[in-house]
Each structure stands twice: as structure tokens, then as C-alpha cells.
Chains A and B, each alone.
Chain A
């Protein structure tokens, strides 16, 4: 039987895994609107910050609904595009933010911010974290999509 080796994290690796948050901005609201309704000429806000009618030449192409789910350690902005009949065209994650506990207090972690100013912002997207591990459920987003369907899925007049 092949051997297993005891593994200990090298000191350098420990520093690199200590981080307060994992955040990814995938799309802004206008970008997501354009992606969902490429032929729309305008998006008419029907509910402030939440719902927009996608229109082209006086015709309604569908509805774009923005929402978020917030938990203790996870924050997800997402959008649902519905066709005029109230059917889901697409569900897209706009932003994802996850916070980690514990290690934030470590001095080595805090050290990485020394010398950072607004001119040298922490460019999270330039070193995007990819994470593998315990099974993350998308249950809360799925529930949110169901609530949006219940509220807006009756179709547009």
C-alpha cells in the first residue's frame, strides 16, 4: 500500500490563506440587465432598486428583478430575468461575499494591510480566491428565486 505523509502547512502558505473575506463582483446591475435582455433599448425601473421592465420599441421583453440573500457568513446579490409570461429566463449571481472567522485577529494577517492606501486598494478581483471544501448549499438562493417567482411570476400586462 502506498504511503501517506504527514502534512504541515509551510509558514508562507499560512499567511496566504489568512484572509477576512472572499468577495467576487461578477456583474453590475446594468451589465446583468444587458446580458439578460441584449435587445432591450431601455430598462424602466418599476420598483426602486429592485425591479425593471426591459423594453424595446415600446414592447416589453420581460422583467429584471434584483435581490440578495444575507447570512452570518455569506452575502449573495443575484438577479432573476423573467419573460413577459413570468417564466424564468435566467438566474445570475452578481456578487458573492463570504467572511471567515478566527484568523483575522492574527498579526500576520493584519500585516498585509500595512502601507496600503486608497491609491493602492486591495484589489480582490485581481487575485480571486477559488475555494474547495465542505459542501456549500445554494438552498437560500433557490428559496429567494421561488419568492421572486411568487411575487412577479404572474406575468406582465
Chain B
């Protein structure tokens, strides 16, 4: 079978990850896609909340008692999360894991953990130290990198494709995606209020795009369920808007900024601008709003 593009999919990061690559002989495409999946698998292994051996679990068990060494990739994600926490004035927060547990959106894995935080533990409680070490300033801090690691995995999968010489490609981790190459990729955006319907189509070219909204289960009901984005101030699901799609230069940024926009709604525009990102918001009324640069980035 001779072809110059390949597309594969595997269940990873709690979703279906799809990787496509083009511009190489088939055997080289296979190797490129394999390396890209290996990058996603590494992120899955390091940053899973569910795996007791992951860096995240080791931090949640031990980082309140003293610095814990982590993989440079985990460190890079936590550094970016810390920066976003500061620049979003606390709206982006990886320490909402216990609120997700309270809402039944994350499992309680451990009996040895201190009781859930009383709200004093926020993103400021996470300290990055030289030598890829992390320390939590309070007991009871628990992090979940689910709001940013998927985008980071997409970026690294794309870099693996490029390192193998692919001239074009697309990595889509359940809607958090990045595309590179000479061809614009059509991307359809689901209606967050009714995920079995498609709302809009955009063209993605050498940029990343991520969406947040309700969770849904197409195996059972196509109806949307509660959003899995937590407002750290209320420790309740964010309900400012029904859904949001962000375009940015990296998928990690796009992924994380969707969480801020879910919480802040239209008030997120300054932060989006600061990161040269643009967004499409689906308001609770069903109206759709786009930021001023949405069309500009489309043409870019």
C-alpha cells in the first residue's frame, strides 16, 4: 500500500488520540507516528492522576512534606501552570483536584491523604525549585494537570512528527489539537449544549486549537453533562459560558486558556490577548461570540 499520509488512533489521556502525518515514505511515516504516540504515552504515564506511579501521584503523596524530583516534562507543565495561575490572577488553578473529587469527577485513590483542603490551598501553594523539584506549601494540596497536560502532549507529539521529517501533520487528543504543514485542516466545533451537533467549521494551519465545555458520553446519551472545569473561587463547575474554543500558538496554551475562558467568559479577553490567543465563546443563551483576532488568526 503506497501512500504519503497515514492516520492512526489510540485510547490515551482518557480520550481518543488521533495522529496523522504526511510527506514521507510509508515506513518513515509509521516510525514518525509511533514516536508521536510514544510522546503522548510518556505524558500519560507521568501526569495521570489515576496512576499511583505517576509524577502527579508522587507529588500528591509527598510534596507537602518536602521537595519531590519530577521528570523535566512534568516540571515544564507545572512551571507553565504556575505562570498561568499568576497571569490569570488565580483563575487557572491546578490545585482544584479535591473539588473535582468532591464532585465525583476524579476518584479518591488514597486513604492516607490528609482530608480535603478547606480552600486555603490554591495554585500559590505549588513551588517550583531548581533541579526539577516541586514542593507544596500546605498539607492537603492536590494537583490535577488534566487542564493542561493534554495540550502539552499534543505539542510534543507534533514535535516528534517534525523531528522525523514529516512535512505536515495533525494531532488531535479528543478535541485539543495542533496542525502543521502547508495544508489548512478543516476542524469542526461541537455545539457544547448538544455535542452530537456540529456548530462551526474553522481552518487550522500551523497553530493549535482546544475546546472546553460539557462532558458527554456518546455511548449512552448524546446530551451534555456538567462541565469539568472548576472555578477555584467557588470550587464549583464553571458556568460563565456554555463552551469555549481557543486558538493559540501552542496546544498547551490553548488547552489551559479554555479553562480560564470557561470561568471568566468575556472577561478573559485581556488574558487571551496577552498570549496572542483568540477565542470563540458559546454563551449560555446560545449566542456565539468571537474575539477580535479570531478571523485574523484564521487567515494567518
Chain A interface residues (CB < 8 Å from chain B): 1-9, 13, 16-19, 24, 26-27, 31, 35, 69-74, 76, 78, 90-93, 96, 98-103, 127-142, 145
With contact pairs A1-B269, A133-B192, A138-B14 given, residues A101 and B215 touching in the complex (Cβ less than 8 Å)? no
With contact pairs A4-B291, A6-B287, A73-B222 given, residues A135 and B9 touching in the complex (Cβ less than 8 Å)? no
C-alpha gap A80/B239 in the complex (Å): 39
The reply to whether B289 and A132 contact each other, CB–CB distance below 8 Å, is no
The 10 closest A-B pairs by CB, nearest first: A133-B190, A71-B219, A93-B9, A74-B218, A132-B175, A134-B195, A73-B218, A4-B289, A138-B11, A7-B288
The reply to whether B187 and A131 contact each other, CB–CB distance below 8 Å, is yes
Which chain A residue lies CB-closest to B1? Answer: A31
With contact pairs A1-B270, A13-B200 given, residues A130 and B218 touching in the complex (Cβ less than 8 Å)? no
The answer to whether B36 has its CB under 8 Å from any CB of chain A is: no
Rounded to whole Å, the gap between the CB of A18 and the closest CB of chain B is 8
**How many pairs, one residue from A and one from B, have CB atoms within 8 Å of each other in the complex?**
191
Q: Which residues of B contact A93 (CB under 8 A)?
A: 8-11, 16, 18
C-alpha gap A17/B20 in the complex (Å): 22
The reply to whether B289 and A101 contact each other, CB–CB distance below 8 Å, is no
With contact pairs A72-B222, A96-B16, A140-B219 given, residues A27 and B8 touching in the complex (Cβ less than 8 Å)? yes
A4 interface neighbour in B1, B170, B188, B290, Cβ under 8 Å: B290
Which chain A residue lies CB-closest to B195? Answer: A134
Stretch from B84-92, B158-166, B204-212 at the A interface:
B204-212
The reply to whether B177 and A101 contact each other, CB–CB distance below 8 Å, is no
Rounded to whole Å, the gap between the CB of B101 and the closest CB of chain A is 17
Which chain B residue lies CB-closest to A78? Answer: B11
Q: Which residues of B contact A141 (CB under 8 A)?
A: 11, 16
Which chain A residue lies CB-closest to B15? Answer: A138
Which chain B residue lies CB-closest to A25? Answer: B7
C-alpha gap A93/B273 in the complex (Å): 38
The reply to whether A135 and B175 contact each other, CB–CB distance below 8 Å, is yes
Q: Which residues of A contact B290 (CB under 8 A)?
A: 4-5, 7
Total residues of chain B contacting the partner, CB 8 A: 68
Contact with A along B269-300 (1 / 0, CB 8 A): 11001000000110000011111101000000
Between-chain CB contacts (< 8 Å), 22 pairs: A3-B292, A6-B287, A9-B199, A13-B201, A17-B199, A18-B198, A31-B1, A91-B10, A93-B11, A96-B16, A98-B218, A100-B196, A101-B196, A127-B186, A130-B177, A132-B209, A133-B189, A134-B224, A135-B174, A135-B216, A136-B218, A138-B14
The reply to whether B9 and A133 contact each other, CB–CB distance below 8 Å, is no
Which chain B residue lies CB-closest to A129? Answer: B188
C-alpha gap A78/B12 in the complex (Å): 13
The reply to whether A134 and B15 contact each other, CB–CB distance below 8 Å, is no
Which chain A residue lies CB-closest to B266? Answer: A4
The reply to whether B188 and A132 contact each other, CB–CB distance below 8 Å, is yes
The reply to whether B197 and A129 contact each other, CB–CB distance below 8 Å, is no
The answer to whether B231 has its CB under 8 Å from any CB of chain A is: no
The reply to whether A71 and B220 contact each other, CB–CB distance below 8 Å, is yes
The reply to whether A102 and B10 contact each other, CB–CB distance below 8 Å, is no
Q: Which residues of B contact A8 (CB under 8 A)?
A: 288
The reply to whether A17 and B15 contact each other, CB–CB distance below 8 Å, is no
Contact with A along B209-253 (1 / 0, CB 8 A): 111111111111110100010000000000000010100000000
The reply to whether B11 and A132 contact each other, CB–CB distance below 8 Å, is no
